[in-house]
Chains A and B, each alone.
Chain A
Amino acid sequence: MDFTLTEERQMLQDTLRRYLADKYTTQVRNGILESETGISAGIWTGLADLGVIGALFTEAQGGFGGAGFDITTVFEELGRAGVVEPVMDTAILGGRLIAALGNDAQQALLEEVIGGTLHLAFAHGEPTSRYDLSRVEATAVQSGDDIVLNGRKAVVANAEAAGHLIVSARESGGADDQAGISLFLVPAGTAGLTLRGYPLFSGGRAAEVTLDDVRLSASARLGAAGEAYPAIAAAVAAANVALAAEALGAMETATELTRGYLMTRQQFGRPIGSFQALQHRYSDMLIELEQARSAVINAAGHLADAPAQRDLQIAAARNLIGRVGRLVAEEAIQMHGGIAMTQEYELAHIAKRIVMTDHRFGDTDYHLERFIDLSAA
């Protein structure tokens, strides 16, 4: 039993925390939120240079980490600073799908990802698929030596910045079947690929993606035809660990800001933190925060397990984090009062980051159902 970080991870945490405290101030971040691209190229290069992206890949893949606790170390820090840059989309989702399924030529893209020169986006969810990972209605049809893709993909994060989209499409089976789903590497600008981009509520950008007779050579397929689902589930499991850790980091900041405000804000001639009613609520936030921390550790520690055990732990973590996240975000805003409702105050963004994790890869209720199903299995 050892709950301390390894020396390498401790160094990574310290370095990243210092870098973000220095470079990713509220003012800088609010500037990024207002910008056209929604992300900062300078910060992205900075993160790559620090080895933050490399830490998310194994040595065999060209990195120096890649385990669950590497993910949580990185994402907790990104969450603390409210970072909107798409590390999860490019490195966790895109990177893991290529690493799991790609041939040698496709794997070569990972070097660019780790070096910070290539963005990726995972174009999987569809307008009516909600959080169901196996619901894919976009089609991939063989046409001579080529493959032709048709369909629509919804809320594809980081689509505009991505050099390649990793697009899921069905080659066989019914709309809900796990079997029959393939992944394709679609370079930006491919004929028939249309993006309608827009900013996201909690920062960053996404796009509605239309595939209209997108013609690819068969070499664009990642892995074997119709067999991509297990790799998708594994990449999404890693993304869920990242999301949970990010929310945890953001909650740490929310509770810290609340502590500071309770101790300094004066009303009725004394700091509002001297009121026992608020002290107890602040204490509850801290108690729940430790629950969240343990849930993240559980999920990260089981990321390499067999899918059933892995997914049970992940469903548990996301359900708990969803509940605690809402409590922490809402209580932090409430105890601050009006100031927390203003865009320029740090907590506003942090609260949005916490709450909006609920809308990626399943909300609290979805993960509760997953947990029930997986427990019964």
Chain B
Amino acid sequence: MDLNYSPEEIAFRDEVRAFLRDDLPKELSDKVRSGAELGKADIERWHAILNARGWLAQNWPKKFGGAEWNAVQRHIFEEEAAMANAPRIVPFGLGMLAPVLQKFGSKAQQDYYLPRILNGDDWWCQGYSEPGAGSDLASLKTRAVREGDHYIVNGQKTWTTLGQHANKIFCLVRTDPTVKQQEGISFLLIDMDTPGIEVRPIILLDGTPEVNEVFFNDVKVPVENLVGEENKGWTYAKYLLTHERTNIAGVGFSQAGLDAVKRIARAEMSGGRPLIENPHFAARLAKVEIDLMAMSTTNLRIISQAAAGQAPGVESSMLKVKGTIIRQEINDLTRRAVGPYAMPFPSETLEGNNDPVGPDYAGPQSAQYFNNRKLSIFGGSNEIQRGIIAKVRMGG
């Protein structure tokens, strides 16, 4: 038992810190710190900086141009990047599609798409959920019918995150409606410029256009855009979901959030004293910090198992549930910390006068609190995760 990083891991962490100190543009970290929204150009800029350092595709094997970091290295980067308020790496191409292509894609698909993902030529989005297929993803209905050299795709996807920026979408489609649900699904790569595709923004409750509906009306997709075998898509989808669940605990985000709420609570006054000295607030803050300290170690325990080659099982579901509860609790505390100045609508999302109302840290906190209710809903809701834990451990 040794709670410390090895000398090699410490050296790696120092390298990451130096990189973030020297290469992370201040405009970007300022935006992230203040909770402002990042535009497409911001994200592309950060991806390009990481790519230039060879650190964009962290989990890819070296033969595909990746960094091939182990789980501990990835964790160190994620933690340091979150603490430095670096933008999040948008995972759809890099972290989700790429591992599927590397394992199941054809040589031609690997050669064509992987470099384009690295270089930022393509922005991928994920076509999984449908209006009738959320937690029950396998019930998806978007239909793909083979006609000669093409599939004709009809149907609708929803909750497509950042689909407004994307030029490509990877989709789960139904190619055989006559068999058991999971056995009639295929994995298709679709160009968003294809005639018959329409993207409509969904405005979320905090006013942001973060997700979209994507409609497919007789969309012609060349058969070479099928990944792997027809009707094997569910296997690939499950493989992809295991990758979606890395960094599921969001320890770095929680630590950055905890730093932020402490900074705010030192600035805010309550009863003539800094809020952070208020015993009730301090107690709430302490409880969530204690939870985070323990979860951080749980996370490292699972990561070191993974680095030793053990595939994480229900532990990733446990981390998702606990990690999102902690992040949401920090969001709630931060919203409360700003007091009456949580009420104004965040000014940076309004046209015209963009000066913050009240302290500059106050504006985004209510929006952030509401927006992050999504954390316990997406990527397999916390109810689904709890179901998985019980099913696995009770052998159901």
* Interface residues of A, Cβ cutoff 8 Å to B: 125, 127-128, 130-132, 135, 154-155, 176, 196, 198-202, 206, 208, 266-269, 275, 277-278, 326, 330, 333-334, 337-338, 340-344, 348-349, 351-352, 355-356, 358-360, 363-365, 368-369
Contacting pair B336 A363 (CB below 8 A): yes
Knowing A130-B268, A132-B271, A356-B343, the reply to whether A344 touches B203 (Cβ < 8 A) is yes
Contact with A along B176-211 (1 / 0, CB 8 A): 000000000000000000000000001111010001
Contacting pair A359 B205 (CB below 8 A): no
Residue pairs across A and B with Cβ atoms less than 8 A apart, 20 shown, are A128-B269, A154-B341, A155-B341, A201-B366, A267-B135, A267-B139, A268-B136, A275-B383, A330-B373, A338-B158, A340-B205, A341-B204, A341-B374, A342-B203, A355-B366, A355-B370, A356-B342, A360-B340, A363-B339, A365-B278
Contacting pair A365 B336 (CB below 8 A): yes
Knowing A201-B367, A355-B369, the reply to whether A343 touches B345 (Cβ < 8 A) is no
- Measured CB to CB, the nearest residue on chain A to B270 is A130
* Interface residues of B, Cβ cutoff 8 Å to A: 129, 132, 134-136, 139, 158-159, 202-205, 207, 211, 268-272, 278, 280-281, 284, 328, 332, 335-336, 339-347, 350, 353, 357-358, 366-367, 369-370, 373-374, 376-378, 381-383, 386-387
A369–B277 alpha-carbon span in the complex (Å) = 14
Chain B's nearest CB lies how many Å from the CB of A24? 19
- Measured CB to CB, the nearest residue on chain B to A203 is B345
Contacting pair A155 B343 (CB below 8 A): yes
| Residues on B with beta carbons closer than 8 Å to the beta carbon of A128 | 269
A136–B132 alpha-carbon span in the complex (Å) = 55
Contacting pair B280 A369 (CB below 8 A): yes
A53–B174 alpha-carbon span in the complex (Å) = 58
Contacting pair A348 B336 (CB below 8 A): no
Knowing A365-B281, A368-B280, the reply to whether A341 touches B373 (Cβ < 8 A) is yes
A135–B382 alpha-carbon span in the complex (Å) = 43
A266–B353 alpha-carbon span in the complex (Å) = 45
Contacting pair B377 A338 (CB below 8 A): yes
Contacting pair B340 A199 (CB below 8 A): no
| Residues on A with beta carbons closer than 8 Å to the beta carbon of B381 | 334, 337
| Residues on A with beta carbons closer than 8 Å to the beta carbon of B132 | 266
Chain A's nearest CB lies how many Å from the CB of B128? 12
| Residues on B with beta carbons closer than 8 Å to the beta carbon of A326 | 332
Residue from B204, B271, B357, B383 within 8 A of A342 (CB atoms): B204
| Residues on A with beta carbons closer than 8 Å to the beta carbon of B159 | 338
Knowing A267-B135, A356-B366, the reply to whether A155 touches B129 (Cβ < 8 A) is no
Chain B's nearest CB lies how many Å from the CB of A55? 27
Contacting pair A348 B205 (CB below 8 A): yes
Contacting pair B204 A201 (CB below 8 A): no
Q: Which 9 pairs show the lowest CB-CB distances between chains A and B?
A: A348-B205, A267-B136, A343-B203, A199-B345, A130-B339, A365-B280, A201-B366, A155-B340, A359-B342
A307–B35 alpha-carbon span in the complex (Å) = 42
| Residues on A with beta carbons closer than 8 Å to the beta carbon of B339 | 130-131, 359, 363
Contacting pair A360 B369 (CB below 8 A): no
A128–B335 alpha-carbon span in the complex (Å) = 16
A130–B358 alpha-carbon span in the complex (Å) = 11
A321–B328 alpha-carbon span in the complex (Å) = 20
A46–B303 alpha-carbon span in the complex (Å) = 62
| Residues on B with beta carbons closer than 8 Å to the beta carbon of A351 | 205, 370
Given contacts A355-B335, A368-B280, 12 further A-B contacts (CB under 8 A): A154-B341, A155-B357, A201-B343, A201-B344, A201-B345, A268-B135, A269-B139, A277-B387, A330-B328, A341-B377, A351-B370, A365-B284
A278–B382 alpha-carbon span in the complex (Å) = 12
A369–B345 alpha-carbon span in the complex (Å) = 28
Which has the most chain B C-beta neighbours within 10 Å: A128, A130, A196, A199? A130
- Measured CB to CB, the nearest residue on chain B to A154 is B340
Contacting pair B374 A155 (CB below 8 A): no
Knowing A267-B134, A326-B332, A368-B280, the reply to whether A333 touches B373 (Cβ < 8 A) is yes
Contacting pair A201 B134 (CB below 8 A): no
- Measured CB to CB, the nearest residue on chain A to B387 is A277
| Residues on A with beta carbons closer than 8 Å to the beta carbon of B284 | 365
Chain B's nearest CB lies how many Å from the CB of A84? 12
Knowing A128-B269, A342-B205, A363-B336, the reply to whether A201 touches B347 (Cβ < 8 A) is no
